Amino acid sequence: MMQLYGRLGIAIAALGILALLGKVFTAPLAFVFDLSEASLAQLILAALWFSLTLLLARVIRNEVIHGWIERRSGQQVPPLIGSLATGLIMFLGLCAIMSLVFERDITALVATGGASLMILGIALRDILLALFTGIVLNVEKPFRVGDMVQINDRQQGRIERITWRTTVLLTGNNETIYIPNLLLSNAIILNMAQPDKRSRRSLEVRIRYDTSVDSAERVLYAATLGAAGVVHVAPPTVFARKLEADCVLYEVAFTISNYADGKKAEHAVLKNILQCMRDADMTTQGQVKIANRALDTFHLVQQVRLFRGLPEDLCKRIAGLLVERHIPAGAPIVVAGERRNAMFIIGEGMAKRTGTDRAGASVVSQRFMATEAFGRKALFACQSHSATVVAETAVLAYEFERRALARLLAETPELLETFAMALAQLHYRETHPGRAEDDLPAAAIARLVHLHR
């Protein structure tokens, strides 16, 4: 690039010297080339103008369009734009040479060039408009890469990339949308990252008239403020908004530090509101009472594979014996080799069981989610836990202890046969995953029932 500028600079300097010295060089050169001095002077001046035009075109293309503008916007300008700018500058330079140096009438040339430019502009209309919009977006920066935006109340996602023709949007469903910049010129854009990432959220809760407004306000305020994992920028607010037929409509508003956590924050707040309303024995619209934790635990027991199909009264008794444990993320629930005679049922969150391979490296062997359980051998056979189980997220687990099992069997001895059958069927299904649920060989099941009994 610098070599090209150097050659053009030498040519311009030489032609400039020839034009300034005039007859000192033009007379001998005119004699050599058999030209008139006036014609040779015109040619030298025309060559000087052409060299200056070529230098200007190169500077505009390389230093301005593909240099300063690209550095300013952080995006690569399409080569077509540089070529069009070079062609326009060269055309204007040739028109100036023909008119000013050779004193020719360029009306026809300008008309032809104008018509050609008009045809070219019509052909490239969408590209040029998209380019102009892209320039505006990159200069004004109504949004930046990484911002969460909403366009025309329809598309919502994070800005992944901004080019001269399109803007790339990544939605919450991990879908990539390419939006032409031409559409963004007239779009209504909501940037949820400006002026900062704070987001104000609001929820509506309907509570019956038999709960005083003061009590409802205290419960809703405490539940919102105490929601796990929610970072509040300012204290929440609770207002009674409307009197309805059989309840009062309350609005709970809170501000979080990051808009991207909006759904998680709303979920956490609603979850804690329900828990606090349950603890306070409050009722919602239509005299619907908030279900208590015991009912949740009963349904959880019914979904555990070991207890699936057991009578309801037995599931209720088991649910009443479970001990609730809250384990923070990263904390161990049980450690390999620990003699803790209990089985654990995951109620909320996710845990992972890790073991060691022959080389002694730690590997993840299994993950546990809600309704899944581990520690059957520790509960029924008093064996130590064979692997460490760690909470990947905050986990709500229910512990079924050996003492509770012994008390249950002492009260109802016939449950020994029930548990032996359940363990036998579960063991066979785990060791024969391809067999159908209702295709269990009686002889094999009988041997397993005897073993577990």
Question: For residue range 53-62, what is the model confidence (pLDDT) as tens digits?
Answer: 887 888 877 7
Domain boundaries, the chain: 2-123, 142-191, 199-289, 307-400, 413-453
Assess whether pLDDT exceeds 90 at residue 35. Answer: no
Q: What is the mean pLDDT of residues 61-65?
A: 77
Residue with the larger pLDDT of the pair 220 and 108:
220
Of the candidates 185, 143, 180, the one whose C-alpha atom is nearest the C-alpha of residue 160 is: 143
Q: What is the mean pLDDT of residues 212-225?
A: 86
What are 181-204's pLDDT values in tens digits? 777 777 888 887 777 778 888 899
What are 289-319's pLDDT values in tens digits? 544 555 678 888 888 888 877 888 888 888 8
Assess whether pLDDT exceeds 70 at residue 282. Answer: yes
The vertex-70 CA angle with 69 and 75, nearest 5°, equals 130
Residue 331 is predicted with a pLDDT of 92
Torsion from C-alpha of 30, 34, 40, 43, nearest 10 degrees: -140
Label residue 334 by pLDDT band (50, 70, 90): very high
Residue 77 is predicted with a pLDDT of 65
Residue with the larger pLDDT of the pair 135 and 390:
390
**% of the chain residues with pLDDT over 70:** 74
Total residue count of the chain as it appears in this document: 453
Query: CATH assignment of 142-191, given 2.30.30.60, 2.160.10.10, 1.25.10.10, 3.40.50.720?
Result: 2.30.30.60
**% of the chain residues with pLDDT over 90:** 6
Mean pLDDT of the chain: 78
Helix (H, G, I), strand (E, B) or coil at 264: helix
Assess whether pLDDT exceeds 90 at residue 433. Answer: no
Assess whether pLDDT exceeds 80 at residue 132. Answer: no
Helix (H, G, I), strand (E, B) or coil at 327: strand
Assess whether pLDDT exceeds 70 at residue 336. Answer: yes
Of the candidates 399, 410, 400, 414, the one whose C-alpha atom is nearest the C-alpha of residue 453 is: 414
Q: What is the mean pLDDT of residues 71-83?
A: 66
Q: What is the mean pLDDT of residues 337-350?
A: 88
Q: Helix-strand-coil percent breakdown of the chain, rounded to 5?
A: 50, 25, 25
Residue 401 is predicted with a pLDDT of 92
Label residue 250 by pLDDT band (50, 70, 90): very high
Residue 100 is predicted with a pLDDT of 75
Distance of alpha carbon 399 from alpha carbon 324, whole angstroms = 6
Helix (H, G, I), strand (E, B) or coil at 373: strand
Burial 45-70 (b: 16+ CB within 10 A, else e): bbbbbbbbbbbebbebbeeebbeebe
Those residues whose C-beta lies under 8 Å from the C-beta of residue 93, and which sit 6 or more positions away, are 49, 50, 52, 53, 54, 56, 57
Residue 37 is predicted with a pLDDT of 63
Q: In what order do the strands lie in the sheet with 351-356?
A: 332-334, 388-391, 351-356, 362-368
The answer to whether the bond into 332 is cis (omega within 30° of 0) is no
Query: How many Cα neighbours within 13 Å face the side chain of 43?
Result: 10
Domains 199-289 and 307-400 share a fold: no
Query: CATH assignment of 307-400, given 3.10.450.50, 2.60.120.10, 3.40.50.2300, 3.30.2270.10?
Result: 2.60.120.10
Give the H or E element holding residue 328. Answer: none
Query: How many Cα neighbours within 13 Å face the side chain of 432?
Result: 15
Distance of alpha carbon 452 from alpha carbon 421, whole angstroms = 8
What distances in angstroms separate CA 199 from CA 230, 236, 253, 266, one per listed residue?
Answer: 12, 12, 11, 11
Residue with the larger pLDDT of the pair 235 and 28:
235
Pairing of strands 388-391, 351-356: antiparallel
Outline where DSSP puts E strands in 244-392.
247-256, 283-284, 288-289, 323-327, 332-334, 342-348, 351-356, 362-368, 373-374, 388-391
The vertex-327 CA angle with 325 and 331, nearest 5°, equals 140
The residues that bridge with 288 in the sheet, in sequence order, are 284
Residue 137 is predicted with a pLDDT of 66
152 phi-psi bin (left φ>0, alpha ψ -120 to 50, beta other):
left
Label residue 333 by pLDDT band (50, 70, 90): very high
Residue with the larger pLDDT of the pair 452 and 40:
452
The residue assigned the tokens 């002077």 is 41
The vertex-215 CA angle with 211 and 218, nearest 5°, equals 145
Outline where DSSP puts E strands in 181-246.
189-191, 199-208, 232-243
Label residue 3 by pLDDT band (50, 70, 90): low
What are 137-178's pLDDT values in tens digits? 666 677 778 888 888 877 888 888 877 677 888 887 888 888
The residue assigned the tokens 């159908």 is 436
Label residue 31 by pLDDT band (50, 70, 90): low
CB 327 within 8 A of CB 368: no
What distances in angstroms separate CA 446 from CA 92, 287, 439, one per listed residue?
Answer: 98, 51, 14
- The rounded radius of gyration (Å) of the Cα atoms in the chain is 40
Assess whether pLDDT exceeds 90 at residue 66. Answer: no
Q: What is the mean pLDDT of residues 85-92?
A: 77
The vertex-130 CA angle with 129 and 134, nearest 5°, equals 115
The residues that bridge with 283 in the sheet, in sequence order, are 289
Assess whether pLDDT exceeds 70 at residue 393. Answer: yes
Q: What is the DSSP letter of 286?
A: G
Backbone angles phi, psi at 115, to 5 degrees: -65, -40
CB 155 within 8 A of CB 143: no
Residue 148 is predicted with a pLDDT of 83
Residue 390 is predicted with a pLDDT of 92
CATH architecture of 199-289: 2-Layer Sandwich (3.30)
Assess whether pLDDT exceeds 70 at residue 213. Answer: yes
